[in-house]
Chains A and B, each alone.
Chain A
């Protein structure tokens, strides 16, 4: 269907497709890009999926991601002289912690006031983006506003944080040239952990019950409110970890524009993975392939890379509305049958 879309736009779908594949796996370097892009997708996808299991629609992964980034950088740029084994986990934990806290807010609001999480999480995304922007704000000559606390004074008018200390950076897997870092391992570990949590622990069982039928959970003596807050906290933590990994593993500093790229994709990934951790890993890989290949595709065939977003959405639509795919297939086969019958009629 992506091909149809591109053909309609007047581009050569095959050229675009080869560009896409080449861009995501053509060289070792491209492959590395794909792998690098996979980990935030896995983690934010898990974040959305975990909340969904508890009956919550977490549109706030983007905000939690940003808060996680800020938290991780805040720890990562200070405490010179700490050993790696202590500084790096500390920075990651700071990311998880600030993401969790940010996720807990809409959970708590929902439980205590009934405010719908769809609205609160989206609003908090904007608040988080503004807050994160402020932390590294370079100040303004127009006003007396002071620069943000994490701003790097050596960067002049650019709003960016100082570099993360070497002791808080996630190490590369195969040397610095490929730029693959151990974040992917963390992401896969998180997927495993979420699976174990949901399938093997009591709290996972309670969480699923609350999500499937809150009244039954209440009847069974489960603490619905507490479980809701907990689910949102964990969801926020996963997204926050994604943010921490991106800053500590890839950028090594924080600038407001680094938040881009995780937002609504995470919802698509969670839904495409049917809420199962393994499915989410695969869906995240697919999205990473599309994402990594997009720029190469634009370069090779002139198809704008933004079209990937349309394709991702179409994938989501077809995955969540099976009836649509069946209907389309029926239409196509009917048209084909009609086409096959037409010559006979004419004869």
Chain B
């Protein structure tokens, strides 16, 4: 386990360094004008990669909190959609406010709605005995139905979160604009990776969470309140995943469209698995998938004549499938994942 975690963390670090090195090359090296290199390592593509990675990071963190507690979460997509729609509704209702409070309200709405979806998932699975996969699927259906019912295509939300440059750091070459000249949710996502990663390893909450995900009965007999912790983590995870959806509305696009999540929840789930249920690993996987989207975007903009745009658009999805398929035996899911913990069964 430890070895695997190291290898995914190393992958994340390696990928980030590679991309950054490429960015420096483009900036300073003589051959930077070569079109394909600029396309693969230019500031544009890397900025876009991070932009595309943020919702995946948040969604994956939400998935990790849930799944490290032993509860399968295929409903990330639904949590993100609900978060996005809530952000839009709140933002839209307060269009006449000043931009700041309106966006703040949108952020609160997205967090609360995501948390509510997480709590609903926990209730379905833990209290009402629903199969965890089915519960996840019904979360997706529910948020699809509700957002479709209430979405008014004629409304337009005004404004979105602007970059908050970090003093001094944002002036650094290459790294500054890439990492320290971003809107707030991007910072939150990156910080959340560090916080969740640290907390899982070094806090009481983390130790107990790892224990209930591996062997809930052992944790229970040791005096850990298994159910309470599962509720807590699933709700927190829902809030994070919801924020991942809210990010799209509040920070990336500024609007809501039906189907705007476009499989990101499932790609986030793939990032959870690819990252071996570890926050840093999931960060690496999210960056990889975000990068695939960025490359796809660049190719579309370049209008490569040799490839119809439909096939270019397949890239992020195909990369996800390849990533998940290329992992045989190299990841290990939490021991009790998917099996509901029932205290009153024999043995």
Contact = CB atoms under 8 A, between A and B. Distances in A.
B308 to A, nearest CB: 5
Interface stretch (A18-26, A76-84, A142-150, A168-176): A142-150
Nearest to B324: A115
Contacts of B266: 118-119, 122-123
Contacts of A124: 317, 321
B308 A137 contact: yes
Contact of B310 (A59, A123, A133): A133
A258 interface: no
Interface residues of A, number: 50
Interface string B125-141: 00111110111011011
A323 interface: yes
Contact of A264 (B144, B308, B321, B325): B144
Interface in B94-146: 124, 127-131, 133-135, 137-138, 140-142, 144-146
Interface of A: 57, 59, 109, 112-116, 118-120, 122-127, 130-131, 133-134, 137, 140, 142-146, 148, 264, 267-268, 271, 304, 306-313, 316-317, 320-324, 327
A287 to B, nearest CB: 12
A289 to B, nearest CB: 17
A310 B313 contact: no
A155 B138 CA distance: 39
19 contacts: A112-B325, A113-B324, A113-B325, A114-B327, A116-B273, A120-B325, A123-B267, A130-B310, A130-B313, A134-B308, A142-B303, A148-B308, A264-B137, A267-B137, A309-B141, A309-B144, A316-B141, A321-B129, A322-B129
Contacts of A317: 124, 130, 138, 142
A115 B308 contact: no
A131 B130 contact: no
Nearest to A133: B310
A312 B145 contact: yes
B318 A127 contact: yes
Report whether over half of chain A's contact residues are helix, strand or loop; otherwise say mixed: helix
Interface in B299-347: 303, 305, 308-311, 313-314, 317-318, 320-321, 324-329
A74 B325 CA distance: 30
A145 B317 CA distance: 21
Contacts of A114: 327-329
B130 A321 contact: yes
A146 B308 contact: yes
Nearest to A303: B149
A267 B134 CA distance: 9
Contacts, number: 139
Given A115-B324, A115-B325, A134 B141 contact: no
B141 A115 contact: no
B270 interface: yes
B144 A144 contact: no
Task: Give the dominant DSSP class at B's interface.
Answer: helix
A120 B263 CA distance: 11
B269 to A, nearest CB: 6
Nearest to A123: B317
B137 A310 contact: no
A119 B308 contact: no
B36 to A, nearest CB: 19
Contacts of A134: 308, 310-311
Contact of A145 (B305, B321, B328): B305
Given A122-B263, A126-B314, A145-B308, A320 B149 contact: no
A302 to B, nearest CB: 12
A115 B266 CA distance: 13
A323 B128 contact: yes
Contacts of B270: 119, 123
B307 to A, nearest CB: 8
Interface string B141-156: 1101110110000000
B128 A143 contact: no
Contacts of A131: 310, 314
Interface in B28-42: none
Nearest to A326: B128
A48 B340 CA distance: 23
Given A143-B305, A320-B134, A119 B142 contact: no
A235 B327 CA distance: 25
